[in-house]
Structure 1
Amino acid sequence: MSSILILNAQVVNEGKIQVADILVKDGFIDQIGTNLSGISADKTIDATGKYLLPGVIDDQVHFREPGLTHKACIHSEARAGVAGGVTTFMEMPNTVPNALTQELLQDKYDIAARTSLANYSFYMGASNDNIEEVLKTNIQNICGIKVFMGSSTGNMLVDNEKTLTNIFSNSPTLIATHCEDEATVRANSALYKEKYGDNPHPRVHPEIRNVEACIKSSSMAIELAQQHGARLHILHITTGEETHLFRNDIPLKDKKITSEVCVHHLWFDARDYETLGNQIKCNPAVKADGHKQQLLAALLDDRIDVIATDHAPHTWEEKQNPYWSSPSGLPLVQHPLQLMLEFYKEGKISLEKIAEKMSHAVADCFQISKRGYIREGYWADLVLVDLNEEVTVSKENVLYQCGWSPLEGTTLRSKVTHTIVSGHLAYENGTFDESKTGQRLLFER
C-alpha cells in the first residue's frame, strides 16, 4: 500500500489540536491540509470524531530475543505494541548473550529487520570490561549506550568506579542508566531475608529497593555526567525525591541530562502489591502512594522529559515463584497510550502533553531523524484513537507471548483503531497487516 488518505481527523501535534486531512505516500507524510478529499489514494480512512497522534516511541523495552524467547520475542512484542499505538521501540541489551559486542548487537538488528512490525533501535550494552567495544558504536544508527548502575543479568552490572569514569568521559553518544545503588539493595535484602525468611510478601519490594537506593545512584550518575560533560538519560524515575535533580528552566534541546518516567510508576503504587503481588514486582520498584503524584507533577512541568514502558515480560509460572526468586518486570507495551488517555479523561494531563511526552520529546531527546511529529516530509508513524470506545483488558485480548497483564479486568475508556508504521497500515480495528516490517531508526547527531 503506497498511499493512505486520512480524512477529518482531530490532529494532536506540536501543542495544538486541529481538524485536518493527512496524505501518506511511499512511507512519508506527503500533505497535511483541510480539503484533501478529492485526492485518490490506495486506502482512505474516515477519521471523523477520532484523534490522530504521532505514533508512540517507547525508549525502553525488553523483548527477550535472543536467548530468552520462552518469555517473548521481537515479533510478538512489537506486534503487541503496534496494537497499542507504539510505532517505534528501543530495546535493551540484557538478552542472552548480552549485547556487549558490535557483532551481537548486529544480530538483534538482523532479527528485527526480519520480524518486527514496529520501527526499532537497540542499545549497545556496557559492562565492566567492554569499553573498547562501546567506543566502536556508530552514533548515527544506535539509540544509545545502556549502563546498569544497579542489578542486572549476566555481566551487565557496572559497579567499577574506573569503568564508570571511562564510560562517562568517552561515550560517543547518549548514556542511558538504570539507577539503583547496589550496595544499598544488597544490605536491605540481607536484612529482610533474616527478618522474613524465604518468602516474604511482595509488599517488601519498595522497602528493599528503596528511595535511598534510587536517589543515591541517580545523584551519582548526574555527578559523573556533569563532571565529564556526558549526555545522560536516566531511565524509569520512581521517587519524588529524584524529580528535584532535574531542570525545567531550559528547553529540552539544550539539556545534557534528561529523565524518563514509566507508565506503571504513574499508574500503580505500593497498595497494589496486596492484590497484584509479584505481578508488579519490577526494578526500580513501584513505590508508596505519593510518589506517583510527584512523578506526574514533574512530567507536567518538564523536569521529567519522556514517558516509556520498560516492558519486561516473564512467564506466568515464573511470576508465581516465591518473592526472592520471582523475576522483576511486567508486560506493558500494548497499553501505554490508553493508560495515559485515562489520565486525560481524569483531567490530569492534556492530549497535547501526551503527544509531547510519548513522541515529540522522545524524538528530540534521542535526536531521531524525521520521526515523532506529524509534519510533511516526516515518516508516517501515526495512531488513530477513539476516545468514546471502551476496552476491558483480558487474557483474550492481551497479545504478549507471556499471555498475561497486570491490567487484566481494567476498563480503559479509549481504543486504538489504526496504527501506521513508516507509512504502512500495520493495524486496523483488530486486524494486522504483517506484509511489511518496520524501519531501523537513524539519528541526527
Structure 2
Amino acid sequence: MSRTLIKHATIVNENQQQVADVLIENGRIAQIAPQIDVTADLEINAEGLHLLPGMIDDQVHFREPGITHKGDIGTESRAAVAGGTTSYMEMPNVNPPSVTLEALEAKYAIGAEKSWANYSFYLGGTNDNAEEVARVNPKTVCGVKVFMGSSTGNMLVDQETALRAIFSNSPIIITTHCEDTPMIKANEDAFREKYGEDVPMSAHPIIRSREACYKSSAMAVKLAQETGARLHILHITTKEELDLFTPGPLADKKITAEACVHHLWFTDADYDTKGSLVKCNPAVKTQADRDAIRQAVIDGRIEVIATDHAPHTWDEKQNSYFKAPAGLPQVQQSLSALLDLYHQGVFTLEQIVDRTSHNVARLFDVQDRGFIREGYWADLVLVDLNKPHTDSKDKNLYKCQWSPWEGHTFKSSVIKTLVNGRVMYDQGQFAEFVPGQRLLFNR
C-alpha cells in the first residue's frame, strides 16, 4: 500500500478553508484531519500553500487523432497537469471526427496510452447520427457535443429536425457551440467586400456577432425546454445571452452555461496588441460583456469555468484574418489566470474551486472526483498564492509553444499536481509517466 501525507495545507473545498493534513492511500484520500501522524512513503510539507481539487476542464481540443501537428493528447495533457488540471473532457472535431461509437472508443484507446491526466471524450452530433447518440453509454462518456455554429472543423448541425432528434434522443448531457452561421456568413461577405482579404482582427467580434450568439443560444434553450434535454451551453460571450439562464445553485437546473478563462480576461481592446492570438470562436467581445460574464459566474447564472483550449501553430496564426484559425492554447495558464482574478478581487478562491471542480463534477455526475473528500480520488493541486512567475515561450509545454499570456507575470504558481494520488508535476519537473484514468459517471 502506497501512502502520501500532505501536512499543514490550507484546504479550499466546499465553500470553506481549513488548515489540515491529508493522507492518501492507493490513490484515494484516506483521511483529512487537523493532524495526522503516520508513516508515509512521501511526506509533503504544505505549510503556506493552498490545496485545491484539481481542475476538471469540460472543454478542450487536444487535436488527436489527425491534427497532431497542432497538439496531441500526450503534449497537451502534460501541459494541463503542469497548470493544475487533473481531468479533462475533449471535443470530437478531430480527424476522423468522433461521431460514431467506434471512432470514440478508438480515441479512448489513445487516451489510455498517452494521457497524463484523467480523460473523457465527447461523442459528436451530426445531421444524421441521432441513432448513434441514443446508443451512447451514460456511465462511460461525458456528453454529446453539438456544433450549432460552424467553428473549427466541419461538424455543423444546421437542420432543425436533426437538432430536435439529438435533443430528444440523447441519454446524456448535450453541450453546444452556439453561433448562427448564416448571420456570420453575411457579415463575412460584407467585410470581404469592404476590405478584401485585409480584414482587421478587431472586426472578429462584429463578424461573429453578439446577435449570432444570442440567436443560436436562444434556439438551443428553446429546444431543450421543448424536449426536456439536459443542455449545457459552452463559452458564453455576451451579456444578452445571460438572460437565458437563471442565477443560483446548480441543483435541479436542466439548462446551464459555461464561461471560458479567456472571455473572463481579454476584451476587444486586446485585438490591437494581440491580433490573431486572441481570435477565437465565439469571439472575445467588449469589456461590458466580460464584466457581465464575471458577474454571472459570481451569481450562478454561469456554473462552470473551462478553457476551450484550442492550439494552432504559430505560423498558422500569422495569417490574414480569414486564413488565421480561431482558437488559443491555455490549459497551462488557466488556473494561474483565475488566481490573478482572485488577487484582483474578482472571484474568491472558493468560487474558483466551485466553478472549475465541484460544479463540473456535479453537472456531469463525475464519479469520486472534483472534491477533497475522504474516499475520493486524490486529484489535487498545491498552489503558492505569493510566488509570481512570468509566462514565456521557453516555458510553454504545448506542442505549438506559445500562449496569449506571454510576458505576463502571474501572481501565483502551481507547485505540485497530484493525479490519482501520484505527484505527477513538482515545480517544473515531471514524474515518470503513468497514464490517467478514464472518467466514470454516476448516471
Q: Same-fold call, TM > 0.5?
A: yes
For residues 409-424 of structure 1, the aligned pairs below 5 Å read 409-424=407-422
Following superposition, the deviation at residue 153 of structure 1 comes to 4.5
Which residue is equivalent to 1:253?
Answer: 251
Partner amino acid, structure 1, of 2:190: L
Q: Name the structure 2 match of 1:10.
A: 10
- Who is 2:291 aligned against? 293
- The secondary structure found in structure 2 opposite 1:80 is helix
- Do 1:234 and 1:259's aligned partners in 2 also have CA atoms closer than 8 Å? yes
Shift of 1:309: 0.3
In the alignment, residue 173 of structure 1 is paired with which amino acid?
I
Aligned-partner Cα distance in 2 for 1:104–1:118: 21
Amino acid at match of 1:23: L
CA contact (8 A) 1:79 1:116 kept: yes
2:349 is aligned with what amino acid?
Answer: L
Superimposed CA distance per residue, residues 202-242 of structure 1 (whole angstroms, 9 cap, x where no aligned partner): 00000000110001000000000000000000000001111
**CA distance in structure 2 between the partners assigned to 1:316 and 1:153 by the alignment:** 17
Residue aligned with 2:393, SS = coil
3-state SS of paired residue (1:134): helix
CA distance in 1, matches of 2:432, 2:333: 20
CA distance in 1, matches of 2:64, 2:184: 28
Q: Distance in 1 between matches of 2:43 and 2:431?
A: 16
Query: Could you tell me whether the CA contact under 8 Å between 1:79 and 1:117 is conserved in 2?
Result: yes
Q: Distance in 1 between matches of 2:85 and 2:153?
A: 29
Distance 1:398 1:190, change over 3 A: same
Name 2:178's counterpart in structure 1: 179
| Paired residue secondary structure (1:93) | coil
Match of 2:385 among 366, 369, 387: 387
Correspondence 1:196 to 2:198: no
Instruction: Report the alpha carbon displacement of residue 130 of structure 1 after superposing the two structures with TM.
Output: 1.4
Q: Does 1:307 align with 2:318?
A: no
Q: Kindly state the Cα deviation for residue 423 of structure 1 after the two structures are TM-superposed.
A: 1.1
8 Å contact kept, 2:84–2:381: yes
Q: Residue 101 of structure 1 corresponds to which residue in structure 2?
A: 100
Partner residue of 1:144?
143
Deviations 1:348-385 (A, max 9, x none): 11111111011000100111011100000001100000
Tell me how far 1:155 sits from its aligned partner: 4.1
State how far apart, in whole Å, the 1-side matches of 2:169 and 2:110 are. Answer: 29
Kept in 2: contact 1:315–1:402 (CA 8 A): yes
Match of 2:333 in 1: 335
Alignment of 1:322-361 (within 5 A): 322-361=320-359
**What residue number does 1:20 align with?**
20
Deviation of the 1:285 alpha carbon: 0.2
Q: Is the 8 A contact 1:56 1:86 kept in 2?
A: yes
Give the partner amino acid of 1:182: T
Long gaps (5+) in structure 2:
none
Q: Secondary structure at the match of 1:78?
A: helix
CA distance in 2, matches of 1:153, 1:181: 14
Q: Which residue of the partner structure matches residue 277 of structure 1?
A: 275
Aligned to 1:263: 261
The whole-number CA distance in structure 1 between the counterparts of 2:3 and 2:108 is: 27
Partner of 2:156: 157
| Alignment correspondent of 1:91 | 90
Question: 1:138-161, CA deviations, whole angstroms, 9 ceiling, x for partnerless residues?
Answer: 010100000000013454100001
Question: How far has the Cα of 1:434 moved from its partner?
Answer: 3.3
Question: How many residues are aligned here?
Answer: 443
Query: Does the CA-based 8 Å contact 1:12-1:355 persist in structure 2?
Result: yes
Residue number in structure 2 paired with 1:399: 397
Could you tell me whether the CA contact under 8 Å between 1:94 and 1:152 is conserved in 2? no
Cα RMSD of the aligned pairs, angstroms, is: 0.9
Q: Secondary structure at the match of 1:427?
A: strand
SS of the counterpart of 2:322?
helix
Distance in 2 of aligned mates of 1:262 and 1:133 = 29
Same amino acid, percent of matched pairs: 57
State the one-letter code of the partner of 1:32: I
1:57, CA displacement in angstroms?
0.5
| Distance in 1 separating the partners of 2:412 and 2:149 | 36
How many angstroms apart in 1 are the aligned matches of 2:168 and 2:122? 18
Partner SS for 2:251: helix
Does the aligned pair in 2 maintain the 1:127–1:155 contact within 8 Å?
no
The question of whether the paired residues in 1 share the 8 Å contact of 2:148 and 2:176 is answered with yes
Q: Work out whether residues 151 and 281 of structure 2, in 8 Å CA contact, stay in contact via their aligned partners in 1.
A: no
Separation (CA, whole Å) in 1 of partners of 2:46 and 2:99: 45
Give the C-alpha shift of residue 437 in structure 1: 1.0
Query: 1:290, CA displacement in angstroms?
Result: 1.0
Match of 1:242 in 2: 241
Distance 1:279 1:354 in 2: 25
- TM-score by length of structure 2 reads 0.99
* Cα distance in 1, alignment partners of residues 120 and 223 from structure 2: 26
- For 1:409 and 1:152, the matched residues in 2 are separated by 29
C-alpha distance in 2 between matches for 1:298 and 1:157:
28
Contact 1:420 1:426 in 2 (8 A): yes
Paired position in structure 2 for 1:217: 216
Map 1:103-122 → 2, pairs under 5 A:
103-122=102-121
What is the match of residue 79 of structure 1?
Answer: 78
Matches for 1:21-100 after TM superposition, within 5 Å: 21-36=21-36, 38-100=37-99
| Amino acid in the other structure paired with 2:405 | L
Distance 1:80 1:423 in 2: 18
Cα-to-partner distance string for 1:294-344 (whole Å, 9 max, x where unaligned): 000000000000000000000000000111011000001101111111011
- How many Å separate the matches in 2 of 1:80 and 1:12? 23
Give the CA deviation at 1:435: 3.1
- Mapped to 1, the partners of 2:432 and 2:257 lie a distance apart of 33
2:196 partner amino acid: G
Shift of 1:196: 1.1
